[in-house]
Amino acid sequence: MSSAQAAADALAPAKELAHLAQQFVERRTQALVAGAAPQIAALDNGTAYETRAVYAAESVGVEKLAGYRDALRGIGEAYAKHESSVTIVGVEVSGRTAVLTVDEDSTLHYARIRGAEPTVTSWLAPREFTYEQRGAGWALTGQRLLGGGVPPVNDPPAVTAEEARKALAELPAADLAERAAVQSGPAITGTFNRSAAAAYATRHAKSYNTAYRRFSDVGGDCTNFVSQSMRAGGWPNDLGWYRDATNWWYNAGGETWSWVNVAHWHSFAAVHSKRTTLMSGARSLVAGEVLQADFTNNGSKDHSMMVTLRQNGEVYLSYHTTDTLNRSYASIAAAYPRARWLPHFVKTTY
């Protein structure tokens, strides 16, 4: 058999497998829409279908998503409709096993409960679906999110609905007095445009700026994305040895660890350069500022995000590695009730 024929045979089931993968993603996203019924039907498009084990696990997952949805609705956040699609990245067939890789592109439309929400939150997520050929059909035996990063909002959370509600009830409101005190602190030479940083992050949350390298394979792209946004807002390079967190730069030949690593970025921004000051609560941030997270509260620093919008006391975040636009802080905090948050007030004159 020629290599061309082998490739054609491998791709033969891709359309049917991708159709089932899209149904799978749509079912999860639909579970977050206000009024959606948590009960689910087994997926079967005639050629590809779920195993009993996958169906049972997804039944539990959809129920968890419904509880998470209701917890968010309790604080005034809801989604009115959704769209989901998948794009085939690759398919490998080995014997009776097929592994389908897709890019999920999903959107949730915010219901205007508060009246000032963004129009949508949306994300791109790489997923892998594994199938086993059984007779004339293909059975879906498992799926997983690729690339690390924060799982998208339609991934079943690892917490119960009650834990999510408790976390949401305990979230502090913005402390404008603290913000005013921080803002009146000492300045350093330099200027920063928060609006320009937020505009860059909004523009490139899901549309990658190819002028920069992507770092998804070396611990994630989240801090690289934040650094790009800060440069767009006016942060200048701080030259020096690339391993030294007192320096921060990027060029065609390399970059500092502080450009791409969560902890090193924190050290450069808040400790060494003092271009940022930590605040006590994430909801005190405004567009063009940065929120970092220690999701397990174990002293590590796991993730960096840009605030791209603040409305009615809620902040909305855009980030990589799961490339996401305008996800609410509340929806992330509800999924990570034990997290330690590191909100960076960014000085406009530093």
pLDDT band at 187; cut points 50, 70, 90: low
Q: How far is CA 326 from the centre of its chain?
A: 9
Sequence letter at residue 286: V
pLDDT in tens, 90-144: 999 899 999 999 999 999 999 988 888 999 999 999 999 999 999 889 999 999 9
Closest CA to 214 of 152, 154, 149, 265: 149
Of 4-13, 115-124, 204-213, minimum mean pLDDT range: 4-13
C-alpha span between 149 and 202 (Å, rounded):
18
- Predicted local distance difference test score (pLDDT) of residue 8: 46
C-alpha span between 319 and 74 (Å, rounded):
25
User: Does position 1 have pLDDT exceeding 50, yes or no?
Assistant: no
- Answer for the pair 104, 154: CB distance below 8 angstroms, yes or no: no
Helix axes 161-169, 52-73, angle to 10 degrees: 20
Sequence letter at residue 100: L
User: Does position 188 have pLDDT exceeding 70, yes or no?
Assistant: no
- Predicted local distance difference test score (pLDDT) of residue 208: 95
pLDDT in tens, 211-248: 999 987 656 899 999 999 999 999 999 999 999 999 99
pLDDT in tens, 274-293: 999 999 999 999 999 999 99
**The tokens 């320009």 sit on which residue?**
196
Global pTM? 0.93
Structure token pair of residue 233: 């807002």
User: Which residues have CB under 8 Å from 52's CB, separation 6+?
Assistant: none
pLDDT in tens, 255-277: 999 999 999 999 999 999 999 99
- Answer for the pair 193, 286: CB distance below 8 angstroms, yes or no: no
Closest CA to 235 of 278, 189, 277: 189
Closest CA to 131 of 154, 101, 159: 101
